[in-house]
Amino acid sequence: MQELDPVPRPIDHLTLCGKPAAPALIVGGETLTFAELERRVGLVAGWLRGQGIAPGDRVASWLPKTLTVCLLPLACPRIGAVHVPINPVLKRGQAAYILADSGARLLVTQEARAATFEAGDVPGGCGVVFEDKSKGGPSSYVQPAEIDPSSLAALLYTSGSTGRPKGVMASHANLWLGAISVASYLKLAPEDRTLCVLPFAFDYGQNQLLSTWAAGACAVPLDYLAPRDVVKAVKRHGITTLAGVPPLWVQLAEASWPKDTTLRRLTNSGGALTEALVRKLRALFPEADLYAMYGLTEAFRSTYLDPKLIDAHPTAIGSAIPFAEVLVVRPDNSLAADNEPGELVHCGPLVAQGYWRDPERTAERFRAAPAASRHGGTAVWSGDTVVRGTDGLLRFVGRADEMIKSAGNRISPTEIEEAVGATGLASEAVALGVPDARLGQAILVIARGDGSAEEALRMALKRDLPNFMQPARFVWLDELPRSPNGKLDRAKLKAELGS
């Protein structure tokens, strides 16, 4: 594996991290060695240059997990261009917004997707090409270059659950150091195989590729329709590493798995695991290390929990990953004491460069680091409340805009959701505060199920939670909505049910 070197490099140099003859990518029935991966990246980079793409130009992709979409994150930066991945589950209106906002010069997509566009969706000056034209010829090969690591490599658009999505500006250094950091603390090795099920437009999803290649290991992208597709792919490809978000882990925990699997490493981010889900995954995959992590697109990843600690501390999110500095800060910018809630502030070289062409929202989230920071410079102020225990481990409390204020109490929705999950009577739940004339806000719990367990659930919560944390109302749904990145869509639930 690549040594834990804090010196950033151009992101396309990841093609040089593995042994030339070792497998790097299995996609579309084709296996590419690292030598072939390097050659294909160079050819696509040359093809892009032949399309008139110049340094600084934005190149968007709107594709499922094909070979082309695996190559573009390295091919675009190789010629100084900026990759703009669009989640393939988005519809034409959302894709059109990202094209316009990013000022894309080129969209690489498929004919069927392009056919959904209406007049005016594709901005003037943005060409549309189909991925089967993007292979390039032998004469177009571009070698790895020593591009400034601080230059822009990608625009990663947030899912846009609240307001318009924002394009997070990630540099070569951000992506390189993120890949090296994750490959290091996950202890990835050349013999590992990563099943890439998360969308590549998601920073966590894209890092499935980048950290795997940083370790000289093999990535296996998969677009799945049902959890059983993931189970089959793990067996078929001898997968050792699987990344997911909580709603996916809930589904996979309910799937039928063989007694023994090749899985040795499970990772979670994009939301906190409940204790009940941790226990279920540990029982289902006793030989696999389970990594609980916390991240935000603006700084990629902030914390991880050593898997040796998860049985004793199932709800902790751990401590800072390599290259990150994580502080817990009071409203007056001083450091919070142990067991005192505060805002998680991320400092250091993983901090992105702000939001694309959005100085107002950049100024809200990207601000000067607290005086206590050893890194200084610009920090990401997450808006998330955490607590650092006397054991040094961080625990997630909730987002500032999601905290429930009821009868003078500030209540973490996460705590209620964990209590619901611990009963085993609902595998997924979202807690919201809804307007109430007497309390200010009452607690609404939206759970997956048919409602037949509601009476038993109410009794269990009366046993486990204080009176001020008791839900006033339950809503039962067959399925809970998810964002394009697979997270539970709290904003949609609040808009539809939270009034």
- Which residues, listed in sequence order, are joined to residue 109 by a DSSP beta bridge? 130
Count of residues for the chain? 499
Domain boundaries, the chain: 9-171, 224-400, 402-497
Q: Which long-range contacts (CB under 8 A, 24 or more apart) does 37-41 make?
A: 37/71, 37/213, 38/144, 39/141, 40/67, 40/71, 40/135, 41/12, 41/15, 41/71, 41/74, 41/75, 41/78
Strands 316-320 and 394-399: antiparallel
- Please check whether residue 291 is in contact with residue 269, taking contact to mean a CB–CB distance below 8 angstroms: no
Answer whether residue 137 shows pLDDT above 80: no
Tokens of 100: 């316009």
pLDDT level of residue 135 (50, 70, 90 thresholds): confident
What fold is seen in the domain 402-497? Answer: GMP Synthetase; Chain A, domain 3 (3.30.300)
- Which residues, listed in sequence order, are joined to residue 488 by a DSSP beta bridge? 482
Residue 375 CA to chain centroid, in angstroms? 24
pLDDT at 490: 87
52 contact partners, CB below 8 Å, separation of at least 6: 105
For 9-171, CATH number? Answer: 3.40.50.980
Answer whether residue 217 shows pLDDT above 50: yes
Helix (H), strand (E), coil (C) string for 207-219: HHHHHHHHCCCEE
Q: What is the chain's Cα-based Rg?
A: 23
pTM of the model: 0.86
In the DSSP assignment, the letter for residue 336 is P
The answer to whether the 9-171 and 224-400 domains have the same CATH topology is yes
First to last CA, the chain: 52
pLDDT level of residue 440 (50, 70, 90 thresholds): confident
Pick the CATH number of 224-400 from 3.40.50.12780, 3.30.1360.170, 3.40.50.300, 1.10.3720.10: 3.40.50.12780
In the DSSP assignment, the letter for residue 88 is T
Share of the chain above pLDDT 90, in %: 78
Tokens of 300: 């990629």
Residue-wise pLDDT tens digits, 261-280: 999 999 999 888 889 899 99
Q: What is the largest CA-CA distance in the chain?
A: 73
Higher pLDDT, 171 or 164: 171
